[in-house]
């Protein structure tokens, strides 16, 4: 018996749209009733539906949270890093959206709609769906959609008609892409193009993703200029110092260095400020403020800090969006916030305590054992802050270190951004 095929959204957009929407509705209804549909939903949509079912989102009636008060909405707009790239988003998307009977929508990292512009007629339709400035379009509030779902999976997503979990959104199509802070990978929000389902086009998602990447490039340019300003201040200071010292910005990016090999970035602990501190890459050091960053002066006169001593590692993946690694039990405890990729790799290493080769991890991550270059490069970055706690050949945690993993309450919240085959399998195994 042949396995069911998976929905191809590009092919569907070329069909009669009423028929395509009807077909998707059948897939959704069968899935929600516990049956196996003739055609499977796309994995990103099926995973989202699973989260909605576990989270208790009503598939038949939309829920509208309290709109932000005007003062709070204006404050969020004023303080959002996306404000700096709003002209980029407007120039690239609003004219296109207006001509195509779409609207551009921008939300923050919590799913709150900050800005929306475009076709006046479509804006009125958006009001009817509750897609208004100040509304909460997080996935856990309004179900699978082009704003909330990219916030969870941290990649571009197009949602057409009955791929929306909530039935009242089925006349709608949307395509959204996340925008991240290039300094630390923090999720800033999502830019989305939405409109009536008749306006679907397979190229919309690629357009939105390209514009999101353009916005990130502009943010990166601003970061480079900020580092240049910090370097101009720090270089004369470092020139007068003996020993090892480095000037970094508030995210740990190196602006200037003396007495030690340069590194692109230092892993700073969550709690960091002026005074005496300890870093895995420097050892004990004195921290002094600089305009736009910090001056770190290593107190250890040796060429390198002593190896990290610890008895316990705690990987916290209980949150669907933020993950941390804590090193405990040594002379200096510390906690480091993880990128999505490092959270995946460290979770897999916690799963395989006896060790995993680069090809094994590549298969776990990508389903392709040949992608070892990416795995080795990322683990090289991990070793900069874990040092001797992470061995290699095969990659593994040292045997004398206890490793604990704090898991989420719901299996669906285990690294929900991850499409790694081994992580997806772990979610299934954790289901009751």
Give the pLDDT of residue 303.
Answer: 46
Q: Is 310 helix (H, G, I), strand (E, B) or coil?
A: coil
Encoded tokens for 262: 């340069």
- Phi, psi (deg, nearest 5) at residue 193: -120, 125
Give the pLDDT of residue 304.
Answer: 46
> Region 80-103: what's the mean pLDDT?
89
User: How far does Cα 248 stand from its chain's mean position?
Assistant: 24
Mean pLDDT of all residues belonging to the chain: 89
157 - beta bridge partners? 176
**CA angle, corner 201, sides to 30 and 19, nearest 5?**
40
What's the CA gap between 133 and 123, in Å, rounded?
A: 11
In this predicted structure, the answer to whether residue 431 has a pLDDT above a threshold of 60 is yes
Encoded tokens for 320: 């669907």
DSSP state of 116: E
Residues 6+ apart with CB under 8 A from 393: none
In this predicted structure, the answer to whether residue 78 has a pLDDT above a threshold of 60 is yes
Give the HSE-up count for residue 428: Cα atoms under 13 Å, Cβ half-sphere. 9
> Region 191-211: what's the mean pLDDT?
91
Expressed in angstroms, the distance from the first to the final Cα of the chain is: 29
Encoded tokens for 202: 């397979």
Q: Is the preceding omega at residue 394 within 30 degrees of 0, hence cis? A: yes
Q: What pLDDT digit, counting tens, does each position of 51-71 carry? A: 999 888 999 988 888 899 999
The runs of H, that is alpha helices, within 131-246 are 139-142, 148-153, 204-239
Give the pLDDT of residue 124.
Answer: 93
In this predicted structure, the answer to whether residue 380 has a pLDDT above a threshold of 70 is yes
Q: What is the dihedral of CA 194, 197, 201, 202, to 10 degrees?
A: 90
- Phi, psi (deg, nearest 5) at residue 310: -155, 160
CB 247, CB 294: distance < 8 Å: yes
108 - beta bridge partners? 189
Residues 6+ apart with CB under 8 A from 429: none
Nearest alpha-carbon partner for 275 in 308, 304, 297, 306 = 297
> Region 171-196: what's the mean pLDDT?
95
DSSP state of 68: P
Encoded tokens for 9: 């959204």
Q: What pLDDT digit, counting tens, does each position of 344-378 carry? A: 999 999 988 888 999 999 999 999 999 999 999 99
Alpha carbon of 57 to those of 140, 158, 259: distances in Å? 7, 20, 57
Grade residue 246 by pLDDT with cuts at 50, 70 and 90.
Answer: very high
The H or E element spanning position 316 is strand 312-316
Q: What pLDDT digit, counting tens, does each position of 310-352 carry? A: 678 899 999 988 999 988 876 567 888 899 999 999 999 998 8
CB 144, CB 49: distance < 8 Å: yes
In this predicted structure, the answer to whether residue 199 has a pLDDT above a threshold of 70 is yes
DSSP state of 185: -
Grade residue 152 by pLDDT with cuts at 50, 70 and 90.
Answer: very high
Nearest alpha-carbon partner for 215 in 88, 373, 312 = 88
DSSP state of 232: H
CB 190, CB 179: distance < 8 Å: yes
In this predicted structure, the answer to whether residue 385 has a pLDDT above a threshold of 90 is no
Give the pLDDT of residue 388.
Answer: 75
**Percentage of residues in the chain with pLDDT exceeding 70?**
96
């Amino acid at each position: 018996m042949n396995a069911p095929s998976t929905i191809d959204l590009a092919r569907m957009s070329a069909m009669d749209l009423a028929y395509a929407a009807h077909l998707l509705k059948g897939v959704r209804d069968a899935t929600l009733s516990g049956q196996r549909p003739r055609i499977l939903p796309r994995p990103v949509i099926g995973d989202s539906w699973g989260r909605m079912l576990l989270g208790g989102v009503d598939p038949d009636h939309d829920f509208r949270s309290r709109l932000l008060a005007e003062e709070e909405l204006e404050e969020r707009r004023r303080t959002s890093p996306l404000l700096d790239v709003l002209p980029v988003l407007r120039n690239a998307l609003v004219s296109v959206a207006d001509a195509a009977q779409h609207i551009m929508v921008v939300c923050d990292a919590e799913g709150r709609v900050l800005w929306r512009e475009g076709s006046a007629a479509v804006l009125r339709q958006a009001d009817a769906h509750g897609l208004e400035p100040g509304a909460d379009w997080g996935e856990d509030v309004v179900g699978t959609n082009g704003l909330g779902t990219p916030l969870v999976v941290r990649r571009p997503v197009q949602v057409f008609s009955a791929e929306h979990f909530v039935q009242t959104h089925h006349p709608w199509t949307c395509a959204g892409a996340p925008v991240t802070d290039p300094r630390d990978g923090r999720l800033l929000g999502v830019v989305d193009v939405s409109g009536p389902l008749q306006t679907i086009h397979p190229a919309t998602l690629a357009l939105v993703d390209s514009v999101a990447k353009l916005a990130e490039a502009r943010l990166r340019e601003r970061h480079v200029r900020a580092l240049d300003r910090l370097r101009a201040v720090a270089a004369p200071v470092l020139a007068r110092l003996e020993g090892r010292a480095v000037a970094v910005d508030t995210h740990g990016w190196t602006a200037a260095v003396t007495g030690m090999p340069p590194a692109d970035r230092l892993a700073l602990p969550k709690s960091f400020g002026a005074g005496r501190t300890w870093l895995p890459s420097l050892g004990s050091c004195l921290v002094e403020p600089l305009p736009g960053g910090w001056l770190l002066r290593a107190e250890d006169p040796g060429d390198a800090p002593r190896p990290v001593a610890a008895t316990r590692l705690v990987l916290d993946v209980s949150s669907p969006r933020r993950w941390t690694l804590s090193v405990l039990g040594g002379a200096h405890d510390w906690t480091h916030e993880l990128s999505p990729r490092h959270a995946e790799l460290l979770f897999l290493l916690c799963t395989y305590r006896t060790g995993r080769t680069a090809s094994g991890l590549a298969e776990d991550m990508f389903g392709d054992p040949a992608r070892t270059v990416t795995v080795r490069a990322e683990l090289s970055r991990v070793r900069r802050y874990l040092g001797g706690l992470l061995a290699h050949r095969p990659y593994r945690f040292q045997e004398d270190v206890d490793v604990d993993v704090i898991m989420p309450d719901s299996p669906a919240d285990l690294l929900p951004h991850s499409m790694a085959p081994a992580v997806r399998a772990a979610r299934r195994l954790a289901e009751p």
